Amino acid sequence: MHNIAVIGTGYVGLVSGTGLADFGNRVVCLDINHDKIDLLNRDGLPIWEPGLQELVRKNVRSGRLRFSTDITAEIREADMVFIAVGTPSGENGGADLTTVFSVAETIGRALNGHKYIVTKSTVPVGTGARIREQITRYAPAGSSFEVLSNPEFLREGSAVYDFMHPDRVVVGAETEQGRAVMREIYRPLYLIETPFVFTNLATAELIKYASNAFLATKITFINEIANLCDGLGADVHVVAKAMGLDGRISSKFLHPGPGFGGSCFPKDVRALSAIGEAVGYDTRLLKAVTEVNAAQKLRMVEKLRRLLPALEGKTVALLGLAFKQRTDDVRESPALAVIAKLREAGARVRAFDPVAAETMKKIHPEITYADDMYECVTDADAVMILTEWNEFRGIDLARIKQLMARPVMVDCRNLYDPAGVRALGFQYACVGRESYSEKLS
């Protein structure tokens, strides 16, 4: 059993800290934000993540999980310190490491004895070495430490499951002692033969960026194919299914839609491009991914314009605000781009999301928010489905047609069959199969 201090209580820090506690370690999750720690100590959560509340309560009751703002004191009591703070995009698209290095300084000043410092935050290649330099600058005589890299691969909405059932655990370590201690804290995973990838710091740091950039590229690729299908009368769902049956490709992330968003893919693609620029390499593919993804979000409004050309003064109902289902995260969500474009065109925007409405209100307090999907579409001139929440898959289409001022639907997540919706009298647009049923008839 190890005494672990996790600095940062966002998605990565809170889920990772709770998971490590569930693996039998003693964990304290730390943050300088007193409100977040007070909330956690009152049995609340600063984030919405399925299954996390129950896991936190279980490990708090067991005495393995605590929360504190006394960062220096808790670092001194720990034998391992995880850095799990945010690394947002900077001005040039690269990761802003201000908080990471501030934490490194704090760790250096608090060092007593030997400690393992583990970077969980997503950081550019070479950051581990810079963290080592920063800690060394402030470390008192007689202290010692090793810096390791342990990138996270958590999907928002499935983060608890992903921590407990990872495809692999990546560890960047320079010594056998470092590798051994990581096997110990992840012992339950090691015992069930979860693949462990041990490498050096630079390689571990790059694996994270390469993985996210590839998945973002795959999403962008199938959206490009979907846009071609719209013009050719082909069905992107059939194309994606056939592609996915090829073992070299697989079916994962071949789901067309309004473009990717969230806290990871957009900033990690930009950051990897910035890393390329730093070493004199032009990452043209990654830059294209960013450009195409931004255009895809706006393309959803163009689909609406083809059905409802004059948007000024019209009411558009948006179903879904989160960048994907099972999260309240709206960072770089397609809904942000759609709202901005609709308001620019003079449309009135009304929105509903099962969990993300409160988050979006902080960004767009000026639009109208509904309490349920049927209130949202009442008297609307058009409805756009932007998030693939399961409850949107079972909408009573006949009912919303009666409630709406005009039966216009843009299904940005392809939740419905085009022919079936049009048979009910809707003007309907989707992604990558708009004219497929017409070509068959």
Residue entry with tokens 């940005």: 412
pLDDT value for 441: 43
Q: What is the mean pLDDT of residues 333-361?
A: 98
Question: Bridge partners of 68?
Answer: 30
Does the pLDDT at position 296 exceed 70?
Answer: yes
Q: Do residues 117 and 107 lie in contact, with contact meaning Cβ atoms separated by under 8 Å?
A: yes
Using pLDDT thresholds of 50, 70 and 90, give the confidence band for residue 366: very high
Instruction: Evaluate the CA torsion angle 98, 101, 106, 107 in order and state its sign.
Output: positive
Q: What is the mean pLDDT of residues 230-242?
A: 96
Share of the chain above pLDDT 70, in %: 98
Share of the chain above pLDDT 90, in %: 96
Q: What is the pTM of this model?
A: 0.94
User: What is 3-199's CATH superfamily?
Assistant: NAD(P)-binding Rossmann-like Domain (3.40.50.720)
Taking phi over 0 as left and psi of -120 to 50 as alpha, with beta for the rest, 432 belongs to left
**pLDDT tens, residue by residue, 251-289:** 999 999 999 999 999 999 999 999 999 999 999 999 999
Q: CA-CA distance, 412 to 256, in Å (whole number)?
A: 8
Does the pLDDT at position 92 exceed 90?
Answer: no
Using pLDDT thresholds of 50, 70 and 90, give the confidence band for residue 434: confident
**pLDDT tens, residue by residue, 380-417:** 999 999 999 999 999 999 999 999 999 999 999 999 99
Q: CA-CA distance, 60 to 415, in Å (whole number)?
A: 40
Does the pLDDT at position 440 exceed 50?
Answer: no
**pLDDT tens, residue by residue, 66-90:** 999 999 999 999 999 999 999 999 9
Query: Quick count: other Cβ atoms within 10 Å of Cβ 188?
Result: 13
**pLDDT tens, residue by residue, 116-132:** 999 999 999 999 999 99
Q: What is the mean pLDDT of residues 300-317?
A: 98
DSSP letter for each residue of 91-113: TTSSB--HHHHHHHHHHHHH--S
Using pLDDT thresholds of 50, 70 and 90, give the confidence band for residue 436: low
CATH 3.40.50.720 domain locations along the chain: 3-199, 234-440
The catalytic residue positions are 264
Architecture of domain 234-440: 3-Layer(aba) Sandwich (3.40)
pLDDT value for 437: 52
